[in-house]
Chain A
């Protein structure tokens, strides 16, 4: 390139490039305002280029496939090595994606450009959104997506707090109790570890279990059909990021357990932490239970923290064992670190 300098009278240095390369012709006119005191030195070519325009920099980082010029013998049509793309028409590829869970969709978006494009189809996200937030009702969801998330279902999926239903929320609590002095052990202490398990369903029901059993054993029995002992059913309601949950313990003295939790995540969209704000057990009387059709939540709605409707069962707001819940997907139930016994991990920092 041969630059040509030309100083104009009002102190603007104009530099023009003409390329002699026959395959590419770049003509750039760069006008740099040069302070007047430098004009005298311009003949010495000491004026530095103050700004440079290098259009070829835009090509860096783009995988530009070299294309032979038109009509050349070496130009080959691009053949996609992936059989799935050559065989399946786009509609069928879309149908495959329609059968994937949202977390798989998120990972699929990172595979290649075609998949990223297909994953962005709003119908996929509309369906998963309507399913997970079904307790709000379809109409409310439509209004919310339009007003808060610009009509983008995908954005709503990532940004709006949602309770996950593909695993368990696990709260691992430990406490120390003194043990019995033995032969040489004079002041023994035991570290006791127990878990609270929560499993939520989009229909508004949840399951609760408190046990010393590890995640990998409990994961199998936390379902509706399970006749396992000590798995209790209740109702919950999610309002923005607050969860109100209540269940009724069966038995002679009717006791209701209510929890208030706050949903958050370690990253946007993860929804993998539930902070336990309040845990109250209180008494209800039998007549109320039978007459209330709204379910357990409606039964204890608006009660004070110390309110009880059965004088034999005082209202207790529990202060211990309130470690935040950590989400463990079912696939990770066996390998989760929360399975570790106390000698390997005495406390898990939920973060």
Chain B
């Protein structure tokens, strides 16, 4: 009988998960090591927690080993270290499942990545960020703004200057 961990979401709902599923999250792994089986997660809503658990369940079967620690995103923003990526998912069936999993609107994706970041589930963070990057790829600036509802706070002169400065990115012939 696998050991069960109890996760309590922000709105009070309780979820029991197998240990190896919960241990996809490094944070939970560390907390449990200090002998605590009930883990409150006040910042994570039930809806998001269900999705995260679903992801962890699927990936726990594949990953028997814990993931290598990633340098935290904050360290990556400083000039000393470079960007780190988790190892890519090699199993095509799993990758297909992942692609289905991230077919969500932007708002849900952001909720998941924030929760995954909080729980330190490297692969899930990477997956969602890659998806967001893919949604930006290939689009012109105006389309990107429309997709993410971003306000254009440039003056026309600034926009023109930027367009000239980055003309290499637009010009393809």
A residues adjacent to B (C-beta < 8 A): 61-63, 80-85, 87-92, 94-113, 115-116, 121-123, 126-127, 158, 265-272, 326-329, 331-332, 336-337
Cβ-neighbour of A91 out of B77, B141, B150 (below 8 A): B77
Interface residues of B in 99-146 (CB under 8 A from A): 106-107, 110-111, 113-114, 117, 125, 129-130, 132-133, 136-141, 144-145
Are A123 and B173 closer than 8 Å at their CB atoms?
A: no
14 pairs of residues in contact across A and B, judged by CB atoms under 8 Å: A83-B149, A84-B148, A96-B133, A98-B76, A102-B169, A107-B170, A111-B141, A111-B145, A112-B154, A266-B173, A268-B167, A268-B168, A270-B172, A331-B138
Most chain A beta-carbon neighbours within 10 Å: one of B111, B157, B166: B166
**Which A residues touch B165, using CB under 8 A?**
109
Given contacts A109-B162, A270-B167, 19 further A-B contacts (CB under 8 A): A62-B155, A83-B106, A84-B150, A91-B74, A96-B133, A100-B133, A104-B138, A107-B166, A107-B170, A112-B151, A112-B153, A126-B82, A158-B168, A265-B168, A267-B171, A269-B168, A270-B172, A328-B173, A329-B172
**Which B residues touch A272, using CB under 8 A?**
171-173
Cβ-neighbour of A106 out of B72, B133, B152, B166 (below 8 A): B166
**Which B residues touch A271, using CB under 8 A?**
168
**Which A residues touch B136, using CB under 8 A?**
96, 100, 104, 108
Please report the C-alpha to C-alpha distance between residue A109 and residue B169 in the assembled complex, in whole angstroms: 10
Please report the C-alpha to C-alpha distance between residue A90 and residue B114 in the assembled complex, in whole angstroms: 12
**Which B residues touch A108, using CB under 8 A?**
136, 141, 144
Q: How far is the CB of A85 from chain B (nearest CB, A)?
A: 7
Please report the C-alpha to C-alpha distance between residue A81 and residue B166 in the assembled complex, in whole angstroms: 26
Q: How far is the CB of A139 from chain B (nearest CB, A)?
A: 16
Please report the C-alpha to C-alpha distance between residue A85 and residue B110 in the assembled complex, in whole angstroms: 10
- Given that A96-B129, A105-B169, A272-B171 are contacting pairs, would A82 and B151 also be in contact in the complex, using a CB cutoff of 8 Å? yes
Q: How far is the CB of A190 from chain B (nearest CB, A)?
A: 28
**Which A residues touch B113, using CB under 8 A?**
88, 92
Cβ-neighbour of A122 out of B79, B137, B170 (below 8 A): B79
Cβ-neighbour of A99 out of B130, B144, B173 (below 8 A): B130
Residue of A nearest to B172 (CB): A329
**Which A residues touch B148, using CB under 8 A?**
82-84
Are B150 and A104 closer than 8 Å at their CB atoms?
A: no
**Which B residues touch A100, using CB under 8 A?**
133, 136-137
Are B166 and A270 closer than 8 Å at their CB atoms?
A: no
User: In this assembly, does B30 line the interface, its C-beta being within 8 Å of a C-beta of chain A?
Assistant: no
Please report the C-alpha to C-alpha distance between residue A335 and residue B79 in the assembled complex, in whole angstroms: 41
Please report the C-alpha to C-alpha distance between residue A20 and residue B117 in the assembled complex, in whole angstroms: 57
Are B77 and A90 closer than 8 Å at their CB atoms?
A: yes
Are A116 and B162 closer than 8 Å at their CB atoms?
A: yes
Please report the C-alpha to C-alpha distance between residue A112 and residue B153 in the assembled complex, in whole angstroms: 6
Please report the C-alpha to C-alpha distance between residue A266 and residue B171 in the assembled complex, in whole angstroms: 8
**Which A residues touch B77, using CB under 8 A?**
90-91, 94, 121, 123
Q: How far is the CB of B152 from chain A (nearest CB, A)?
A: 6
User: In this assembly, does B83 line the interface, its C-beta being within 8 Å of a C-beta of chain A?
Assistant: yes
**Which B residues touch A266, using CB under 8 A?**
171, 173
Please report the C-alpha to C-alpha distance between residue A233 and residue B76 in the assembled complex, in whole angstroms: 38
Residue of A nearest to B147 (CB): A84
- Given that A267-B171, A269-B168 are contacting pairs, would A63 and B153 also be in contact in the complex, using a CB cutoff of 8 Å? yes
